[in-house]
Structure 1
């Protein structure tokens, strides 16, 4: 197989349902992650915008996913994002990138004594 001539994906992705549980159990931390795949050869510069029901949006610092790499960005990692997201609060987010990327959203919830893992592809925004 030959390398793709053009990167795949989109420059804008939307995730309408996100939530960081305040509680965890069974030795695993409940969390959500933005899984970014950059199939292109150029680094992708990303910015995440977080939307809430009762306040203005917050924006992450610039995040860089190198070419032909993936990065699973934990939403409970304030250091990576440059901001701390609230727990037990519904929110949504948008991923904007200067290069085409593919985005998947994953959730691990251990707050009710078991393991609930859910994952979904984000929705291309434009």
Structure 2
């Protein structure tokens, strides 16, 4: 029996990049992608907002048999990017099965907080 390693569609419903950080570490969020296959995985990320149109088809490539931690603050298309202090959600679609995890470092206080969770496979 052959099993697929991952899924081609993932959802992350809770995103938020804090507008301020304290100390040396900057608050950030990352889409952590594992590609177990030899060929590169071509991702298309759509970012949804509460009060504006989404940023669609942000292209990211994860090399074969590699992992990539993609900071959400680095995602942009046609000059549009995710603003700090604004709630958002993401859809991650891949041309081959991948595994997606979501991580958030909150350094808004002296006591840093790290949260990570698996994205929801579609």
Q: Structure 1 length normalisation: TM-score?
A: 0.88
**Partner Cα distance (1:44, 1:117) in 2:** 27
> 1:36-92: CA deviations, max 9, x gaps?
0000111100011001110111025311111100000011125xx444211111110
RMSD: 1.5
Note if 1:42 corresponds to 2:39: yes
Q: Which residue of 1 aligns with 2:5?
A: 8
Equivalent residue of 2:21, what SS? coil
Moved more, 83-92 or 12-21: 83-92
Could you say what secondary structure the match of 1:61 adopts?
A: strand
Q: Which runs of 4+ in 1 moved over 3 A?
A: none
Alignment correspondent of 1:77? 74
Q: Are 1:120 and 2:101 an aligned pair?
A: no
Is 2:25 the counterpart of 1:24? Answer: no
Q: Do the aligned residues in 1 keep the contact of 2:46 with 2:58 (CA within 8 Å)?
A: no
Structure 1 regions of 5+ residues with no counterpart? none
Per the alignment, in what secondary structure is the counterpart of residue 81 of structure 2? coil
Alignment coverage as a number of residue pairs: 119
